[in-house]
């Protein structure tokens, strides 16, 4: 029998909220699937569409996380992230890729549980979607 498909997930986190949320998930020993590689940025506003597109050449899904709206450490970076992710999603649809492969979530420093849940849910969803056809290797 073939081995179960293990999706590859790249997550961009901001330093202040969502990376701290991931730390809290760790401190609280919340278990989630090891399919994710986290890339720490200072702000979700730093996420350039190029990063997402490059990530989608190598992974099955991309998760962008940041502070909740209104809570951004840099005031408004997450608002720009939101606009960009929406645009990239549209572009993905146009090239025929499932938009669900890209997800945006707001995770605060106190939401360790949410971080773990979001990773788990996304990995589950990627398992259903299967391998990203654009992915090399």
Partner 1 sequence: MIDKPRIGVYVCHCGKNIAGVVNVEDVAEHVRNMAGVIVAKDYRYVCSDPGQDMIKKDIRDYQLDRIVVVACSPRLHEPTFRRVLEESGLNPYLLEMVNIREQCSWVHMDEPDKATEKAKDLVRMAILRSQLLEPLEIKEVKVLKSVLIVGGGVSGISAALDLAEMGFKVYLVEKNESIGGHMAQLDKTFPSMDCSICILGPKMVEVARHPKIKIISHADIVRVEGYVGNFKVKIRENPRYVISDRCTGCGECQEVCPIEYPNEWDINLGVRKAISVPFPQAVPSVYRINIDYCLQCYKCVEACGAREAIDFGQKPKETELNVGAIIVAIGFEPYEPYQLKEYGYGTYQNVITNIEFERLINAAGPTEGKLIRVSDMKVPHRIGFIQCVGSRDERIGHIYCSRFCCMSAIKQARQIKEKLPEAEVYIFHTEPRTFGKGFEAFFRKTREYGVSVVRGRASKVLEDPETGNLTVFVEDLSLGKPVEVEVDLLILSVGMSPPKDLESLSRTLRIPRDPDGFLLEAHPKLRPVDTHTAGIFLAGACQSPKDITDSISQAKAAAASVAALLSRGKIRVESMIAHVNQDLCIGCGLCQEICPYQAMTIQNKKSKTIPALCGGCGTCASTCPEHAITMKHYTNKQILAEVVTAFQR
Find the part of the chain contacting partner 1 (CB under 8 A) among 16-24, 88-96, 97-105, 122-130: 16-24
The answer to whether residue 70 forms part of the interface with partner 1 (CB under 8 A) is yes
Nearer to partner 1, 102 or 109 (CB): 109
Q: How far is CA 39 from CA 2, 94, 97, 128, 131, in A?
A: 31, 27, 23, 24, 21
Considering only 1, 2, 4, 29, the residue that binds partner 1 (CB under 8 A) is 29
Count of residues interacting with partner 1 (CB under 8 A): 52
Considering only 1, 2, 27, 95, the residue that binds partner 1 (CB under 8 A) is 27
DSSP characters over 74-113: TSSHHHHHHHHHHHHHHHHHHTT--GGGEEEEE--TT-HH
**Closest of 65, 59, 52, 57 to residue 17, by C-alpha:** 65
Q: Which positions from 76 to 105 touch partner 1 by CB under 8 A, shown as an x/- string? A: xx--x---x---------------------
């Amino acid at each position: 029998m073939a081995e179960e498909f293990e999706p590859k997930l790249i997550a961009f986190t901001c330093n202040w909220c969502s990376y701290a949320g991931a730390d809290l998930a760790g401190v609280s020993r919340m278990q989630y699937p090891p399919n994710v590689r986290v890339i720490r940025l200072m702000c979700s506003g730093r996420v350039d569409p190029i990063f997402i597109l490059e990530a989608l050449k190598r992974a099955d899904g991309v998760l962008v996380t940041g502070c909740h709206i209104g809570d951004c450490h840099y005031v408004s970076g997450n608002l720009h992230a939101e606009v960009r992710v929406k645009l990239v999603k549209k572009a993905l649809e146009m090239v025929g890729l499932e938009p669900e492969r890209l997800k945006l979530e707001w995770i605060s420093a106190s939401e360790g549980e949410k971080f773990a849940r979001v990773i788990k849910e996304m990995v589950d969803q990627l398992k259903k979607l299967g391998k990203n056809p654009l992915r090399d290797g």
